[in-house]
Structure 1
Amino acid sequence: MTVLRPTSFDIATGTVLGVDPPPSRFAPTGVPDPLDALDAAVLPALSRPPCVVSFSGGLDSSLVLAVAVRAARREGFPDPVPVTWRFVGAPRADESDWQERVIRALRVGGSWQILRADDDLDLIGPVARRLLHRYGVVHPVNLHLHLPLAELATGGSLLTGGGGDQILAGWRRPPATSLRARLWWLRHTARTRQGPAEMFPWLRPTVAREVHRAHRAEQRAEPRRLGHRIAWHTGRRDLRTTCSALSTLAAEHRAVAIHPLLDEGFLAALSSRYGDRRGIGRDDLLAAIVRDTLPAEITAPRRKARFLEVFFRAPTREFVRSWDGTGADPELVDVDALRQLWTRWPIPGGTASLVQQLWLAANPAGPTDPARSSTDVEVTS
C-alpha cells in the first residue's frame, strides 16, 4: 500500500493545504437514518476481531465506541476493545474523567486497555522514531500514537473517530451564546487574523506570505451549509493524507483501519437528513443524530483536550537546542530565524514536522532499527 506523503513545502510550513473538487452529492445507500448508517459502518470492523477502538474519551471516539458496542452485542460479535492513552505531565490532555464515565455507561471495563506514556510519544521519542525509520515523515505528526494501537489490532481492525472535527464541527462555528464562548471566539479570531510574519516566523518572507494567503483562503472557502461542508472536507488533502497514513499503518499489521464518521453511507444519510442546515454546531448535530438512543455520557458537552505537551517533551527540547542549522531547505526556511525560535520553549507547533524531518536527516535508519517491534509502554487492562 502506498502512503500519501506530505511535500517539502507541507513539512516546512507545517500545513497540508489543498482541496479536490467535491462530489455534487453523496450517492444514497438505502440507509436514510444517520445513526443506522453509522451502525452499518462499524460492522466490517466488528467482523474482523480483535476490533480495537482508538478511544480518547472525546465526543467523536465516544460516539464510535458506543455505536460499535451496541452493534456488537446485537449481532453477537465480541465486544470491541477500547484502547486509551494516559499521559504523565500533560494535564491539558487529561480526559480520564470522561473516559471512565463512558466506559461505565457502556459496560466495557473488562476489555478496556490503557497505555501510559511519559516521553514515549514525543515528536522524536521512541515510538515516533520507529515510525520515522519505517516510513519517513508522514502526516499528521502525531500518527505514531496509533502505532501501538495498530499492533494491538494485528490481524483485525482499528476503529477511529477520524473526520469528526471536520464533518461534525468544521471551522465556521455557530454564534456564541455565552460570555465564555464569546471570549473564546474573540481570542480565536485574533489568532487567526495574525499576519504572515506572526503565523510563520520561521519561513522566508515570500514563503510565509504564500502559505498565509493559501491558509486563509482555504478557511474562508469552507461552506456554511452542512451538506456542502461535508463534501468539501472529504476532498481536503489534510484529511485524505491522514486516512492514507492510518490505512498504511494498519495494513502493515494485517489490520484494516475504518473511520465510521467518514463512511460514505453515513455521510450520505447525514447530508440527506440535515444537509440544508447552516452553522449547526457539533453538540446540536450529535443530539440530532443520536436522539437519546445512546447513554447521555456519549454526547454530553466536554472540554476539548490539548495535546501539544504530549508531543513536545524532553527529546524534542534536547534536539532543537543542539540543532546546528543543517538540513533545512534554505529556500523555504529562514534558518537563523528558526534557530532563534528554537531557543525558547515551547517551540511553535507549526515547526513539528521540521523537528521530525531534521532529526531523521541527522539519525537515518540503520539496518537493525526495530521498526516493527512492540513499543515499551505500560499497558493496563
Structure 2
Amino acid sequence: MRWPTAYDLATGLVQGVDPDAPAPPPAAESTTPLAALEAAVLPALRRSPCVLSFSGGLDSSLVLAVAARVARREGLPDPVPVTWRFRGAPRADESSWQDEVIGALGLRGTWQVLTADDDLDLVGPVAGRFLHRYGLRHPLNLHLHLPIVELAAGGSLLTGVGGDQVLAGWRLPASASVPAHLRQTAGRVRARLLGSHRRGAEVFPWLRPEAANEILRTHRAEQRAEPDRLADRIAWHLRRRDLRLTMASFDLVADDHDVAVRHPLLDPTFVAALVGWAGRRKRPPRAELLAGIATGELPAVVIAPRAKAHFLEVFLRAPTREFVRGWDGGGVDTSVVDPGRLRAVWARWPVPECTSGLVQHLWLRQNPPGPSVRPVFGGGTEVPS
C-alpha cells in the first residue's frame, strides 16, 4: 500500500509495517559511513541541476556538506540548496543556521531562498495544487516540496529524509550520568503510569471512543516495541509504513517532473556502513554518530548541536482557520469520527495537528480538481467518506 488509509487520516497516525518492505542491508565494515554517503550523493550530482531541500537542520546540512565536497572533488557543478523561509512562524526560523552552513560551504552563489506567508497552509495555494494533482499523501506537509521539485525538473533532488530513523532520535535519549539516568527512569515510570490512565477519548477527542481507545492501544504498543540497539532500530524503522509511504510519495511527485530523487541517509550502502560501525551500540547520541560520520572532514558548523525547529505554525494559517470554521459537519466516516466532537475541537485554535489529514480530506471533497487537471493518484487514496 502506497497511500494513507481512512484510519491514518482520521487519527493523524501512520502505524504498522509495510509487508513489501525489503530486508535491511547486512552490516558492512569494508567502507566508512562518510565514504558510503559520498557514493550515495554522486549519482544525483551527475544529473544537473542537483537540487537539495535544505532547511538548515542537522540532516539536510550533513547531506549538503557531503554533496558539496563530492561535487568539487569530481569537478561537477555545486549542488543547489533550496530553502523555505516563513513569515509569522518564529518557531520554524532556522535562518541563522542556514546562513552559517551556507557560508561555511561556500554555496551562496547557488543558494535559492523561497519565502512563504500563508502559501504553505494545509489548504493554501501550494497544497491546493498538490492535492488536486496527487490526492492525499503522506506526509501531509509534502506539498512544501512541490516548488522545490519543480525547480529540479529534469535533474535530481537530494533530501535529508531518514535522519530521525537512522541517526538516532529515540523518544527518551540515553542519560549522560547515573543520577540523570535515575531521574529519567523515575520520570519515565511516572509518565507511563499517568499515560496508562488516559483514555483514547482524551488523546483523540474527535474520534468515537472505541476507535480512540484502539488507536491509542496500538500506538503505545509501537512505542514499547522500538528497539534500543541501533542496528535493530534502523531495521525496525525501515519497515515502517510511515517511512515507506513518505518515500513512495516523494517518488510519485519526482517522477511526474522527471526528477531523480535520492535520500542518501537511507541509501543501503550508507545504512550498511553505519550499522557496521555503530550498529551494536544502544541509544547512541545523535551528536556522537554525526561526529563519527564526519570524522573531522566536514566544517564543524554542519554537525553542531542546534534546537529542532517546529513547523506547525507554517501549515496552520488563515486558509485552514477559515475552512474549519465553515465546515458543515459532513464528509467524515461517522463510525470512526464524531462530527460534533470534531466541530468542538475545531472551534479552538490552533486545531490539533493530528486532524490535519481530515482538514485536507474535507477540503478536497469540497474543492475537487477541475476538468482541466489530470490527477496522478498512482492507485488512488482511501479516504473516510
**TM-score, normalised relative to structure 1:** 0.91
- Contact kept, 8 Å, 1:73 with 1:79, in 2: the verdict is yes
2:160 aligned residue? 161
Residues 1:208 and 1:304: Cα distance change in structure 2 (over 3 Å): same
- Taking the TM superposition and a 5 Å limit, the aligned residue runs for 1:1-381 are 4-20=2-18, 26-27=25-26, 31-177=30-176, 194-369=198-373
CA distance in 1, matches of 2:169, 2:237: 8
What residue identity is the alignment partner of 2:233?
R
Q: CA deviation at 1:299?
A: 0.3
Residue 318 of structure 1, CA deviation: 0.2
CA distance in 2, matches of 1:124, 1:273: 44
Give the superposition deviation at 1:195: 3.5
Letter in 1 for 2:67: A
Q: Report if the CA contact (8 A) 1:31-1:265 is conserved.
A: no
CA contact (8 A) 1:130 1:370 kept: no
Question: Would you say the 8 A contact 2:24–2:268 is kept in 1?
Answer: no
**Letter paired with 1:27:** P
For 2:28 and 2:283, the matched residues in 1 are separated by: 26
For 1:326, the aligned partner's letter is G
Residues of 1 paired with 2:257 and 2:322: CA distance?
Answer: 32
Q: Name structure 2 gaps, 5 residues minimum.
A: 377-385
Give the TM-score of the pair, scaled to structure 2: 0.90
Q: 1:202–1:105: structure 2 CA closer, same or farther, 3 Å change rule?
A: same
SS at match of 1:52: strand
Contact kept, 8 Å, 1:11 with 1:353, in 2: the verdict is: yes
Shift of the alpha carbon at 1:351? 0.1
Moved more, 25-34 or 158-167: 25-34
Structure 2 residue matching 1:169: 3-state secondary structure: coil
RMSD in angstroms over aligned alpha carbons?
Answer: 2.5
Matched residue of 2:8: which SS? helix
Question: What is residue 380 of structure 2 aligned with on the other side?
Answer: none
1:17-53 deviations in whole A, cap 9, x for unaligned?
A: 0124787752367852111100100011101110000
**Is the partner of 1:122 in helix, strand or coil?**
coil
Counterpart residue number, 1:377: none
Instruction: Report the Cα distance in structure 2 between the residues aligned to 1:15 and 1:226, rounded to whole angstroms.
Output: 24
Q: Report percent identity of matched pairs.
A: 60
**Letter of the structure 1 residue corresponding to residue 366 of structure 2:** A
8 Å contact from structure 1 (residues 39, 68) kept in 2:
yes
Do the aligned partners of residues 156 and 29 (structure 1) sit closer, same or farther apart at CA in structure 2, a change above 3 Å counting? farther
Give the total of aligned pairs.
Answer: 369
